[in-house]
């Protein structure tokens, strides 16, 4: 998820959701997010939260992660 100059974090998240919703309406089948850290313009340090949020705002598109840094996350055991 990219943040443009002079764009707030909230605006960037909303724009990303709008982009995914548009792609959903255009019958795209997948929307990928990736994890990035220490960047002024990338706001995706927790792709699992963004995936869940974007999936709740779309109907048909599959939302997933193109990359997660496992050493930054505690393991999940179900």
pLDDT digits (tens, 9 = 90+) for 30-63: 998 877 666 666 666 678 888 899 999 999 999 9
Computed from CA positions of residues 74, 46, 40, 29, in that sequence, does the dihedral angle turn out positive or negative? Answer: positive
Question: What is the pLDDT, as a whole number, of residue 35?
Answer: 75
pTM: 0.73
Question: What is the pLDDT, as a whole number, of residue 65?
Answer: 84
Please state, rounded to an integer, the average pLDDT across all residues of the chain.
80
Question: What is the pLDDT, as a whole number, of residue 7?
Answer: 79
Distance CA 55, CA 59 (A): 7
Helices (H), 1-78: 9-25, 47-56
Question: What is the pLDDT, as a whole number, of residue 45?
Answer: 65
The helix (H) or strand (E) run that includes residue 75 is none
């Amino acid at each position: 998820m990219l943040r443009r100059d002079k764009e707030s974090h909230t605006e960037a998240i909303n724009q990303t959701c709008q982009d995914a919703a548009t792609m959903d309406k255009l019958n795209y089948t997948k929307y990928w997010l990736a994890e990035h850290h220490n960047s002024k313009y990338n706001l995706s340090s927790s792709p699992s939260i963004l995936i869940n949020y974007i999936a709740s705002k779309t109907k048909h598109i599959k939302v997933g992660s193109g990359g997660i840094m496992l050493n930054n996350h505690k393991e999940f055991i179900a």
